[in-house]
Structure 1
């Protein structure tokens, strides 16, 4: 948890455009320490909260687009469009695959029938919510 908070603090530092002196001054003012490594988790959370008040917004991780064989690219493009239209991430697709197969399996390992079945599940979901 602490390593993740330190990573967020350093990302915020670069996105806010702070130089090293500004960053260490803010740390010293908020926590009394000049290094994020020396801070406790509560102090790091305080720094992240401050960074958010001055305009830092951590970006969400949306996952990567899988690499698949050429004959499945069209199906994957359709799946990607359905996910984007529903404002969902690739993690949602992974969850459907896990629920369908009972195990986590990357898209690259699915056969055509399994990919088609997941695509049909997304189409049914889109119709159910009035997107198609």
Structure 2
């Protein structure tokens, strides 16, 4: 079964993020997967190649939290993900969603990101950016 466009894109993003030049990339494909081009890869070859890239340090981006769906008047999913990412950077990965919720309650009287409205979301983002810059 041929790979999807997203899988081809993921391969090339990983290659770029790891700083692998074309000659080394072709060598990896030949030695690891037995092919000369990513277009010749099957599903097993893709899994093998991605496993190698992950061993080398590549981490695909993953969604961090729940998607509450389209909610009129509430913060968008992109805003929620940005807030989660800023919180992770600020806390250096040592504090999770429960600590974020405690901070939101102290600072904005919100018990969860789920209740963040569209007007308050930019304020939360600005506050987290300021906290992050002061911590650095």
TM-score normalised by length of structure 1 = 0.49
TM-score normalised by length of structure 2 = 0.48
Query: Higher Cα Rg: structure 1 or 2?
Result: 1
Greater helix fraction, Structure 1 or Structure 2: 1
